[in-house]
Each structure stands twice: as C-alpha cells, then as structure tokens.
Structure 1
Amino acid sequence: MVPASAPALAPAPAPTPAKHGGLRATLFINGVQALETTAIAAVGNNLITYLVNDMHYSLSKSANIVTNFVATTFLLSILGGFLSDSYLGSFLTILIFGLIELIGYIVIAVEAHVPSLKPEACDVRGSVVCEEAKGVEAVLLYVGLYTIAVGSGCLKPNIIAYGGDQLSCEGEANGRRAKYFNMAYLSFCVGEVIALTLLIWIQTRFGMDVGFGVSAGLMLFALLILTSATPFYLNRPPQGSIFTHILQILVAVHKKKLEHASNQKMLSELSENTSRRGPERQSLSYPDQFRYLEQGAMVEEESREVEQLKLVIRVMPIFGCTIVTNCILAQLQTFSVEQASSMESRVAGFQVPAASVQAIPYVIMVGVVPLYVTVFVPLLRRMTGKESGISQLQRIGIGLFVSTLSMVTAAVVESKRKAVAPQKLSILWIAPQFIIFGFSEMFTAVGLLEFFYSQSVAGMQSFLTALTYCSYSFGFFLSSALVSIVNLVTKTRNQQGWLSHNNLNEDHLDLFYWLLSTVSFLNFFNYIFWSRWFKYHPSQSQG
C-alpha cells in the first residue's frame, strides 16, 4: 500500500500536447477497442450454442455458464481500474492483460479443435441423452473462459479511460471528450457487427475451433496496433492506492480528533496548501453532501482523499440503477438467441445464424451514432446550452426507460411464437426487441461512461470507468440468480419451473420477460429519485 505522502503521488512532468495525446492517439485506441470487442463478442455471443451442441450442457446450465462468464469479465474491470490508477498506468495494464486474454483464446481454440478434449459428437435435440463435458474437458473449458475473463475484464475500462486521457490537455476538452465517448461506442458497435456477422458465420461454416482461432488472431493484431502508436500516447503516472486513502479518511473520521473539522475556512486554507503540490494533487471544492467526512481531511491533511470517498458514495445509487438494464441485456444474449434458433432462419434465400440476430441493433447504431453526434447533439446544444446536448444523467434515464420497452416487445413476440408453434415465425420477428435495446444501450452506456469519467478526480478515472462494466457484471449475475429463483418458485410436484425445460415451447419465457418488464419499469422511477438527489461536482462537467 502506498501512503499519502509517497513519491508515487507526486505530479508528473507537464505533457506536451503537440507531441502526445490528442485525437490522433484516440484513433489507435479506438482501433484496439474495435478489435478486442470483435474477438470477445464472437466468443461470448455464440458461447451458448457451443456449450449446448459441443459440450452437451442443458439449456439452463449453459445460459448460467454464459452469464457467469460475462459477469465475471465485467466484474474484474474493477481490478483492472484499480491496478491502472494505483500502480501500472493504463498502457501497461492494457498490454499485460491483453496478452492474458490472447492466451485464453488459444486455450479454447485448442480444446475445440482436438476431439479427445471434448465429449463425443451427439445430437442434443434427439432422443439419446448426450454425455456432458466433465473432468479434463470441463477444466480446460473453464480455464480458457476465465483466462479470457481476467484479460478482457481488466483491459476494458482502461481502453476507455486511456482514450479520455489523450484529450485532457486539449482546449475545449469537455466537448472533445463527449465526442470521443460517442466515437468509442461507435468502435464498440463496429466490433460487435463484425463479430456477430462475419465471425459467427465463420464459426457456423468452418467450426468453433476456427472461430476461436480468429479471435486469437484479432487480439494479437490489437496488441500490435497498441504498441505501434506508443510515441503518440499521453501517459499519466499512477496515483497510489485509492483504497489506502479512503481507509485513512474513514479511520480519521472515526477518531474525530478535531471538533471544527467542517469549518469551510480551514478547508480552504488546506486547499491552498495542497495546491502547491501540483494539479494532480489539488483538492476539488466540495458538493454539499456528506460534509461529516471532511473532518478526515483535517486529520490527514488531505482533501483529495476525502473527495475520492465522497465521490464513490455519491455515484453508487446511479450505478445501482443501471444493473437491471444489464440484466435485460443478459436475456438478449442467452434466451433470445434460443428464441431465434426455434424460428425460421431463412430470409430472402439466406440462412441467418441465430446468434447473428444480436448484430441487428449494432448495425443500426453504426449509422445512428454519427447522426446523433453530427445532427442531434448540435441541435440539442442550441436548445439546452449543454456541450453534449443533454446532461449525462438525462441520457442515462432515457436509456433505462427504453430498455423496459425492449422486454415488453420480447414478451409479446414470445407469446406470438408459442401461439403458432409448431409452425415457425420468421426470425425477423425477433428483431424489434434487439433494435429497441440498441437505442437503450446507446443512451445508457455512453451516458454512464461519460458521467463516471467527467465526475472523477485525479487518480480515479480508470476505477470509476470500471463501474460501468461492473454494472454489466451485476446485471448478468442478477440474471443467473433470477433464473434459478424463478425456476425454484414456479416448480410444483407436477410441473417443472418456468425455464427448466430444454424446449422453449414448454417453457414460460414470455412470463419471465413480463416479470423483467415490471422490474425494469419500477427501476426507472427509482432512478428518477436518485438522479434528482445527485449533485454534480461544482468544478466538473454536467455534459
């Protein structure tokens, strides 16, 4: 642990904007993000098909394996953000964990290719009970998947934060940064489109082993691009462990050594003292929330650490409200793919792989995001006076409401699909729920990333950006828990739970979707309360 006075917290030499950082550097970073997204999306979004058909796991068990894998990936973003801010810096963190992710792809590609490392071929939808993966087969599967999870999870928040860092020395940084976050999301969408079309087609046509191998190749290419642009990057030094600082403040507050610690005049004097240490160590003026924590600044003679603690507490309710939306995303990557598998997949003479329906919203977003940035943002800017058109919290709120509509649509379509079974609906029927959620994601994800980054103080950019991905994690874990709870509660002596069958025609997925719709709608009103309670930092942007 690094004490508050450690040399590691000293300010770095002033960067040279003409040589380091800027939009040129963000182009390379966005390229890395697009390639890494393509690699892992091709694995995660079609993983349930591989687990059912090749590893012979049941549908519900496969869905939980997928959600747990994705949830763990996003949860580990907290570790990546912490290591970057505290010890390694963004560049080294991206490089190290990018290599770890590459190793994971190689492991699952080898297992998928070697017949002796997986169960014998078997028709899981036939009358014969297929033997599921176990022993060495299962161990290799989990080792490969969770190596990918460690690498990708620790890498993701640092790519986003590293891009934001490149613009910190430019004029009109807030406006450029808002545009960058939209372009970063566009890079993500491009990666998803390539993964869910070309790479899924490769997996379907040439086998999962070839598909996993292509993911490995893309990850290697991403690392080559990252290192090739090293001279252009603006690198900020790590600031020391934020958890050490926060613990020091909590201890100081608990001791209550000074009776007048909340005196704003004394805090101003303290701010003048800390300002002599350079811009990276300056304290920010306090919002009028959690004032009792300021006595910790007087005891430890540090106001920046108090601000870090207050910031974490203030953003937690906003973070919590986005978890339900990401629980909905989990359904679109698991059960909705199985929905597509039970529909007529031939469209205009072309066979559409079930997993590729997930590309629909991203294809649309590739066109919508540039339109939003170039047309709607300037229009809204003239109306509201805000640099990004609407505030970050308003953008998040719009996304949360739209996600509810996605689940309502999914429930209606599933009811229709079951009503006409055994006849098959066209796979195009499932498109609306993905399209609607795509708009939800554009508002929620980008708004949340920009919100966390813009409200962060020095030494917390990667950590707070990681909270966006942590929300995905909790959403997928919540999905797994809900599936298990719903199956348990709805199970009777004569009937299995809503989602316990391997046949969607016998399950009650429509009722599960209606349940999620209700939860999401209630969560929207919960968000309204907390967004009105939240106070933007006086010295930070509201978007």
Structure 2
Amino acid sequence: MEQEMEKRKQASSTASSEANTIRDEDNWVHDSSVDHKGRVPLRASTGVWKASLFIITIEFSERLSYFGIATNLITYLTQLLHQDIKTAAKNVNFWAGVTTIMPLIGGFLADAYTGRFSMVLFSSLIYLMKLPDATVAVPLANDGLPCVLISSSSWCVGLSLLTMSQFIPSLKPCSTKTCQQPRKLHEVVLFIALYFISVGTGGHKPCLQSFGADQFDDDHTEERKKKMSYFNWWNFALCCGLFLGVTAIVYVQDYVSWGVADLVLTITMAFTIVTFYMGKAFYRYRIPEGSPLVPMLQVLVAAIRKRKLPNPSNPALLFEVPKSHKHSQGRLLLHTNRLRHATLATTSRTEARPEFISIKDVVNKVINIIGHIVGTSQIEVDLPSSLRFCKQISLVNMVQNKAAIIEENENTSWDQKHNPWRLTTLTRVEEVKLILNMIPIWLTSLTFGLCVAQASTFFVKQAATMDLHITDNFKIPPASIYSLGAIAMLISVTVYDKILVPILRKATGNERGINILTRIGIGMIFSVIAMSAAALVETKRLKADQPQSMSVFWLAPQYIILGFGDGFTLVGLQEYFYDQVPDSMRSLGIAFYLSVIAVGSFISSFLIIVVDHVTGKGGNSWFGKDLNSSRLDNFYWLLAAMNGLNLCVYGLLARGYTYKNVERRVVVADDTSLSNRIDQSMA
C-alpha cells in the first residue's frame, strides 16, 4: 500500500513538473530571440500581431513611395526627359533590377552584423536624408546589443532629393512647363536620388519582412498558424500601398505636380518611421550570429578533408549539438539522405559511371528554341566540348554528411573547443544542403520575374497609347491601370487565406492547405495566361484603325491575371525563401526572393537588346520608336512560350523536393490536453 502511494506521489510530482515546464515554455519564448532589453521575451507582451502591425505599417508607406515612383517613371522619362521608349524601358528595368538586387547586401549585413531592427531604421532614414558630417548610433536594444553606425558627408538622398529636384529652380527639369531640352543637372540629380532609394530599399526590404516574421514562434502551435497568415496580410498591406501609389500619387504627379507628390511621400515615410520606432518595446529581436557564409565554408572544407571516409549507416553517429545546449544553439535540423535537386537528371541505380551532357548542346538547343519563336534561322554556338555537366556532381557527394563524421581521437566535447574547419555539426551540413536545394527553384522562378517586369514598363506604355477616359470629363493617368493588378492580388490573397486555406487544410491535412511550391506553381500558370492575353490585346490594338480610341480597360485581363499570379507566386516565394533558408540567413532569404524580381528585370533588359538585334537585321525590329511601330505582341508570345517551357521544368523539380525538417523543441499544449496528460500520469 505504501509503495503504491509512493508511486502515485512520484507520478504526481512528474506530472506537475511536466505541467510547469509546458506552462513555462508557453509563457516565455525560447527561440533564441530577445526583447528590447536583451532578455528572454515574455510571450504575452511581445511579438505576434501587436508587434507585426507596427512593422506592416512602415511597409505600407515604403510600397506607397516605391510604386508611386516606379510605376510612373517610364512616363516621366519619355515625356519630361524625352527618352525614346527603348531607352526609357532599359533605364527603368535597370533601376528596378538594382533596387531589388541591393537587398542581397542589406540582408547579409543584417544577418551578420547589425540586426534587422537597426538595418530597417537606418535604411528607412536613407529614404529621407543623411545627416551632414554626423555619426548616428541606431541601437538595437537598450543594453548595448549590436547597432549600426551611420556616417555620412552628403546631406540629401532619396525622397528628400527627389522633392528638392522639383522645387529648387536650378534643379528643375527646365524653367517652362513643357521641357524641350531638360537640364543635364536635373537628370543627374534624378538618377542619384533614384539610386539612393535603391540603397535604402536594400536594407529595408529583406530585413523588414523577416523581422515581422520573427515575431512568431515556429515551435508554438498557434503562433505558427498565425505566421502562415502573416505573409498573406503583409502582402495585403503591400497591395494597399501599391494601389494608392499607382492611383492617388500618380494622379497628383500627372495632374497636379511631381513635387507635391514627392512631398506627400516624404511626409508619409517620416510619420511611419516614428510609428515603427514607437513599437520597439513589443518586438522580438534576433542577435546577429556573424557571417552566414563562414559556416558554409567550414562545411565544404571539412567535407573535402574527409572526402575519403565512408558515410556511417546510422545518422546518430554524426556530430551534433548535445541536448544540454539545444536552447542556446537555436533550432536543429534533422538528417536527410540526399540532395534531390543537385543533379540535372536522375541516374538509375545500376549505372556504373555518371553520364555527361555537353554544354554546347544545351546552349544550342535553348538558342534555337528562341530563334524558332522569333523566326530566325538556326544558330550554332561553338563552345569547347570539354565543358560538361555531370549528372552526379562531386561537390554534392562531398557535402553528404562528410563534414559531420567523427574520426578516431577527435575532440567532440561541446564545452571544449573543436576545430570547425575539420568537424561541423549535422545541422550545419543540412543547412548547406538547404541552400543547394534552393538553387534550381530560384533559377526556375526567374521567368516569372521577367513577366513582372513588363507590368511597370510595356504595359504602362500600352496604356499611354489608349483612351484613358472613365467618363467624358475624367481620365486616369496611364500608370493607374497598374492598380488592377493590385486589386486582383488583394482579392486572391484574401480569398486564399480566408476561404481556400481552411477548406484545403481539411482536405489535405496540411497546415498550409497546399505546400509552398504548389502555390508558386499555380501562380506560374497564371503568368503564361497573362502573357498570352497581353499578346492578343496588343494584336487587336495594332490592327485597330484608331488605337487611341481603344479603351484602356482592354488591358484589364492581363493585369488582373498577372495580379492573381502574384498572389500565388510572389507570396509563395516570400514564404518559401524565408522558411526554407537556415534560421541565421532569414534576411538573406527574403533578399533571395527579391533577387528573382531583380534578375527578372535585368533579363528583361537583356532580352530586349537581344530581340531588337535579332529582329532588327531585316529592318523590322520588334521595338520601334513608339508602340505603333513595334511588335510587342510577338514579344509577349515569346515570354508566354518561355514561361510555359520553364513551368514544365519547375514541375519536375517541385515534385521531388524535400522540405526543411526541423527538430521541434516543445509542443505547446492547451489547458485541456495538459490536464489529460496529468490525469494519465497519475492513473
């Protein structure tokens, strides 16, 4: 009897201890984040929506500013600076490309050195101004966590410089309302201002979105579900800013003054920066862990050193962070057997040696497919036949766990220093695999970025040649037609989050409803349809006796369809690159997503040059002085074909993709399940 009572007491004590542990985990956030004073964050008073709303607010104003400038920039360049359509499109594409490639630098600096909060605050200030010959410290937290030091000798950048270029007489395009020959000084000041905005965006975009996602704990069931909605509502706010930017701001630019529009954007950005800073007590912060590239290099060096060692049959024999240090080392990754996308094709198990594909054959096939579409004869590119793609890349085989193999007499004590250039943890190895796995997905996303680039360039120029009247007495600016894409994206994001996801969760058992890559693929299908619709509309416009009498709302289908595609692919890419990168690289992850749009813009500029060169040989270039002498319909068909071919490749990659597999530290239970577990322990 006494023994039975003793067992009950022990069971009760164990259950009580377990309950206290679960409650403690539920009260505090143990995901390696800290609060604004450098302490473990209290779940009830930090993070989740109360923090992310401050962050979403500044994203709204940044997108308002960016799209208010970017969407109408081609109109400004062609009408005020008198650039031809080809030059203006290349300038806009190049600026958009630089703006969206800069986040790779900003994301790296934030992850490695400054922290996301500091980088967001600094880059937002760049939008407005730099202090003359001053050094300003922007603290991450009050207890001296890493901060960014801003030193500057110039005194105006970004929106402030744009605003001054419209108000200061000597900086204006010219002294008259209609410029016949714009001042060179204005042109220089304009592009300096634009590229300073690119620098500001470089720190703002990758850090702000990832900083917002950091406010949700992946190991907490409810917060994890809210985080899935966060990306949808982030893009909802983005689209609201976009919508106002391409309607209200563009209207002010075209019918009131460019200077007034720039002044409104400057004041709005200043107000939201103050709002963002006011929320600092509610944020959860990630402490920078140093360069994320160093651990990757350590894995590769260690793998090369141990390349001749056999892989152990049991992954438990590989080196990993001990249980006693898991909380201090962040989330751990579970072992995976192989890299699914590191090979160009799957080899059969019976193959004795890898097969090779000549780069010359691959390049010639791609060029001749494009040549066939544009109507040119076959082109032969002579490349050294020694250049070959191997279906089984030796680097991939080396990465397969070699760096985490424990040799005899090797120091494996976590408390004592071990050589990370010779022995790395299994988690570090898996992080390298994650990056290698993402490269093919990134590459096959570029054609979607190519389509996105058309919406702010050629689509807008199409609108400028059509009837812009909504009523007899009211007409819209050409760039405002871009708002249809924003409305479509708003609708698709809302319907997806509030209607489709709950239904799909029940049908598939997946927390997300459908997996991320499926969502991205659906958007890619929309891009093919959008480019086809654009080609058909442009064909009709060119055949019209009076193209200028054709309503601008003929462009609605291509904008709306592409907007639906954005709601699936762009939001999916944001979630994919944030979720699937190593935890220490999440700002860079968002930068990878932005680089899809950036490289898409660069490819668009390059493709225009190539197509213009190829089709111009016969005197019938697809890009003339204006749209009426161009053949944009053929260019759109080319884009549709490229996206269709790319979609097939993407589908094969997505089908066999292996997602990030994280070792969960704790499963947060509600009160009912907790009491049931206590009762079962005492039974």
Tell me what 1:249 maps to. Answer: 299
Tell me what 2:107 maps to. Answer: 81
Tell me what 2:259 maps to. Answer: 209
Shift in Å, 1:533 = 3.0
Amino acid at match of 2:627: L
1:292 is aligned, of 395, 398, 403, to 398
Shift in Å, 1:66 = 0.8
Q: What SS does the aligned partner of 1:46 have? A: helix
Contact 2:253-2:261 at 8 Å conserved across structures? yes
Shift in Å, 1:80 = 1.7
1:93 is aligned, of 119, 122, 128, to 119
1:402 is aligned, of 512, 522, 526, to 526
Shift in Å, 1:540 = 7.9
How is 1:225-244 mapped onto 2 (pairs within 5 angstroms)? Answer: 225-244=275-294
Amino acid at match of 2:167: H
Provide the C-alpha distance between the structure 2 equivalents of 1:274 and 1:113, rounded to a whole number of angstroms: 63
Provide the C-alpha distance between the structure 1 equivalents of 2:647 and 2:518, rounded to a whole number of angstroms: 12
Tell me what 1:524 maps to. Answer: 647
Change (3 A) 1:309 1:488: same
Provide the C-alpha distance between the structure 2 equivalents of 1:242 and 1:249, rounded to a whole number of angstroms: 12
Provide the C-alpha distance between the structure 1 equivalents of 2:587 and 2:338, rounded to a whole number of angstroms: 24
Provide the C-alpha distance between the structure 2 equivalents of 1:308 and 1:133, rounded to a whole number of angstroms: 52
Provide the C-alpha distance between the structure 2 equivalents of 1:438 and 1:337, rounded to a whole number of angstroms: 15
Provide the C-alpha distance between the structure 1 equivalents of 2:469 and 2:592, rounded to a whole number of angstroms: 40
Shift in Å, 1:420 = 0.7
Provide the C-alpha distance between the structure 2 equivalents of 1:357 and 1:198, rounded to a whole number of angstroms: 12
Tell me what 2:225 maps to. Answer: 175
Shift in Å, 1:397 = 0.4
Amino acid at match of 2:113: Y
Q: Which moved more, 1:394-403 or 1:137-146?
A: 137-146
Provide the C-alpha distance between the structure 2 equivalents of 1:71 and 1:540, rounded to a whole number of angstroms: 37
Provide the C-alpha distance between the structure 1 equivalents of 2:307 and 2:426, rounded to a whole number of angstroms: 16
Shift in Å, 1:116 = 3.1
Provide the C-alpha distance between the structure 2 equivalents of 1:526 and 1:133, rounded to a whole number of angstroms: 49
Change (3 A) 1:283 1:263: farther
Change (3 A) 1:509 1:255: same
Provide the C-alpha distance between the structure 1 equivalents of 2:194 and 2:80, rounded to a whole number of angstroms: 15
1:190 is aligned, of 231, 234, 240, to 240
Contact 1:67-1:476 at 8 Å conserved across structures? yes
Change (3 A) 1:257 1:321: closer
Change (3 A) 1:279 1:393: farther
Amino acid at match of 2:225: G
Larger Rg over CA atoms: 2
Amino acid at match of 1:164: A
Change (3 A) 1:364 1:53: same
Change (3 A) 1:419 1:269: closer
Change (3 A) 1:496 1:435: same
The question of 1:476 aligning with 2:601 is answered yes
1:155 is aligned, of 190, 199, 204, to 204
Tell me what 2:11 maps to. Answer: none
Provide the C-alpha distance between the structure 2 equivalents of 1:522 and 1:214, rounded to a whole number of angstroms: 44
Identity of aligned residues (%): 32
Provide the C-alpha distance between the structure 1 equivalents of 2:48 and 2:257, rounded to a whole number of angstroms: 42
1:513 is aligned, of 636, 641, 663, to 636
Q: What SS does the aligned partner of 2:572 have? A: helix
Change (3 A) 1:348 1:540: farther
Change (3 A) 1:56 1:391: same
Residue deviations 1:385-412 (CA, integer Å, cap 9, x gap): 1112111110000001111100000000
Contact 1:50-1:208 at 8 Å conserved across structures? no
Contact 1:415-1:510 at 8 Å conserved across structures? yes
Provide the C-alpha distance between the structure 2 equivalents of 1:280 and 1:29, rounded to a whole number of angstroms: 27
Contact 2:489-2:566 at 8 Å conserved across structures? no
Contact 2:333-2:663 at 8 Å conserved across structures? no
How is 1:106-505 mapped onto 2 (pairs within 5 angstroms)? Answer: 106-120=160-174, 130-131=180-181, 134=184, 136-168=185-217, 170-256=220-306, 259-260=309-310, 262-263=311-312, 265=314, 268=317, 270-273=319-322, 276=325, 278-290=327-339, 292-293=398-399, 294-298=401-405, 299-349=422-472, 350-423=474-547, 424-492=549-617, 495=619, 497-499=621-623, 501-505=624-628
Provide the C-alpha distance between the structure 1 equivalents of 2:403 and 2:588, rounded to a whole number of angstroms: 22
Provide the C-alpha distance between the structure 2 equivalents of 1:448 and 1:230, rounded to a whole number of angstroms: 28
Contact 2:159-2:262 at 8 Å conserved across structures? yes
Provide the C-alpha distance between the structure 1 equivalents of 2:307 and 2:633, rounded to a whole number of angstroms: 59
Provide the C-alpha distance between the structure 2 equivalents of 1:540 and 1:225, rounded to a whole number of angstroms: 37
Amino acid at match of 2:309: E
Which ranges in structure 2 are unaligned for 5 or more consecutive residues?
1-31, 129-156, 340-396, 406-421, 665-683
Q: Which moved more, 1:302-311 or 1:188-197?
A: 302-311
Provide the C-alpha distance between the structure 2 equivalents of 1:392 and 1:159, rounded to a whole number of angstroms: 21
Provide the C-alpha distance between the structure 1 equivalents of 2:652 and 2:247, rounded to a whole number of angstroms: 40
Q: Which moved more, 1:470-479 or 1:276-285?
A: 276-285
Contact 2:100-2:595 at 8 Å conserved across structures? yes
Shift in Å, 1:269 = 5.2
Residue deviations 1:359-397 (CA, integer Å, cap 9, x gap): 012123334422321211111111111112111110000
Contact 2:331-2:663 at 8 Å conserved across structures? no
Q: Which moved more, 1:162-171 or 1:373-382?
A: 162-171
Q: Which moved more, 1:297-306 or 1:408-417?
A: 297-306
Contact 2:173-2:187 at 8 Å conserved across structures? no
Q: What SS does the aligned partner of 2:652 have? A: helix
Amino acid at match of 1:162: F
Q: What SS does the aligned partner of 1:20 have? A: coil
Change (3 A) 1:511 1:66: same
- How many residues align? The count is 524
Q: Which moved more, 1:101-110 or 1:469-478?
A: 101-110
Contact 1:274-1:283 at 8 Å conserved across structures? no
Amino acid at match of 2:505: R
Shift in Å, 1:23 = 1.4
Provide the C-alpha distance between the structure 2 equivalents of 1:367 and 1:489, rounded to a whole number of angstroms: 40
Which ranges in structure 1 are unaligned for 5 or more consecutive residues?
1-9, 125-129
Greater fraction of residues in helix = 1
Shift in Å, 1:279 = 5.0
Contact 2:231-2:574 at 8 Å conserved across structures? yes
Provide the C-alpha distance between the structure 2 equivalents of 1:410 and 1:508, rounded to a whole number of angstroms: 12
Contact 1:85-1:463 at 8 Å conserved across structures? yes
Change (3 A) 1:163 1:282: closer
Q: What SS does the aligned partner of 1:347 have? A: strand
Q: What SS does the aligned partner of 1:172 have? A: helix
Shift in Å, 1:69 = 0.9
Q: What SS does the aligned partner of 1:520 have? A: helix
Aligned-residue RMSD, C-alpha: 2.2
Provide the C-alpha distance between the structure 1 equivalents of 2:239 and 2:284, rounded to a whole number of angstroms: 25
Provide the C-alpha distance between the structure 1 equivalents of 2:443 and 2:663, rounded to a whole number of angstroms: 22
Shift in Å, 1:281 = 4.1
Normalised to the residue count of structure 1, the TM-score between the two structures is: 0.91
Q: Which moved more, 1:231-240 or 1:270-279?
A: 270-279
The question of 1:57 aligning with 2:90 is answered no
Tell me what 2:393 maps to. Answer: none
Contact 1:242-1:308 at 8 Å conserved across structures? no
